[in-house]
């Protein structure tokens, strides 16, 4: 696809967002191409025109869309972890976000469908995790700079541990419907930082 008219770009976007929404609501297993077509008032030929790779390509595009959204939803708090109060606000924001999302994580759903088949799929998640962890690590480094955290603590290590806790907390929430584990993980992660005062 080399050139897209304005109309074409709009249609492509409509299909993409319609697919993302349907997956959010029904899960990827219960989402067929026809569902997406009906919902977005488009036809097969349009879908394959914009996503020549078919369902696989569409799902991958949805994964990218959702991955971007994850970090966007945490801004601006994630980018300004400059005080303990800011860390607390970020923590509350995450909990609220995932509480709202309920027991259906779009990325998680899409990934489990693509895993083996699509090589680029794991890269989407890997990249998300890297960016996420980098932002947290920046926050840790800032706290070190202002003397609230000991310089002996490895920021990347701490960020990796905190990120793991978040992922696991959300994962457990998918089965239990509760955010208790997510909260426990966040609280422990932050407490661990605070315990490492210089």
Minimum CB separation of residue 197 from its own copies in Å reads 11
60 and 114 Cβ atoms separated by less than 8 Å? yes
Per-residue contact string for residues 9-38; x = within reach of DNA by CB under 7 A = x-x--------------------xxx----
Backbone phi, psi, residue 156, to 5°: -70, -40
Q: How far is CA 63 from CA 93, 120, 131, 145, in A?
A: 22, 10, 15, 36
- Residue 8 in the binding site for DNA (CB under 7 A): yes
Minimum CB separation of residue 186 from its own copies in Å reads 8
> Vertex 98, ends 180 and 128: CA angle to 5°?
115
CA gap 48, 35 in Å, rounded: 15
Of the candidates 66, 63, 61, 77, the residue with the CA atom closest to the CA atom of residue 15: 61
- Residue 5 in the binding site for DNA (CB under 7 A): yes
Per-residue contact string for residues 40-79; x = within reach of DNA by CB under 7 A = -xxxxxx-xx----xxx-----------------------
In the bound state with its own copies, the residue whose beta carbon lies nearer, of 61 and 158, is 158
CA Rg value for the chain: 19
CA gap 56, 157 in Å, rounded: 34
Residues binding its own copies (CB under 8 A)? 26-27, 29-30, 103-104, 108-109, 111-113, 115-117, 122, 125-126, 129, 157-158, 160-172, 174-176, 180-182, 184-185, 187-189, 191-192, 195
Residue 180 interacting partner from its own copies, DNA, none (CB closer than 5 to 8 Å by kind): its own copies
* Helix, strand counts (H, E) of the chain: 9, 0
Number of residues engaging DNA in binding (CB under 7 A): 24
* Residues forming the site for DNA (CB under 7 A): 1-9, 11, 32-34, 41-46, 48-49, 54-56
């Amino acid at each position: 696809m080399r050139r897209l008219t304005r109309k074409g770009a709009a249609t492509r976007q409509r299909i993409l967002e319609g697919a993302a929404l349907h997956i959010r609501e029904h899960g990827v297993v219960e989402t067929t191409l026809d569902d997406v077509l009906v919902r977005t008032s488009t036809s097969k030929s349009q879908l394959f025109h914009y996503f020549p790779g078919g369902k696989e390509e569409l799902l991958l595009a949805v994964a990218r869309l959702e991955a971007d959204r994850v970090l966007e939803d945490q801004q601006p708090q994630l980018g300004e972890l400059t005080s303990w109060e800011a860390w607390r606000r970020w923590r509350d924001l995450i909990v609220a976000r995932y509480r709202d999302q309920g027991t259906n994580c779009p990325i998680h759903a899409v990934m489990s469908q693509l895993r083996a088949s699509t090589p680029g799929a794991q890269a989407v998640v890997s990249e998300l995790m890297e960016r996420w962890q980098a932002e947290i690590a920046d926050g840790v480094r800032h706290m070190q700079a202002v003397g609230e955290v000991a310089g002996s603590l490895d920021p990347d290590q701490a960020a990796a541990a905190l990120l793991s806790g978040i992922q696991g907390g959300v994962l457990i929430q998918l089965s239990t419907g509760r955010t208790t584990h997510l909260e426990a993980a966040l609280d422990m992660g932050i407490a661990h930082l605070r315990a490492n005062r210089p």
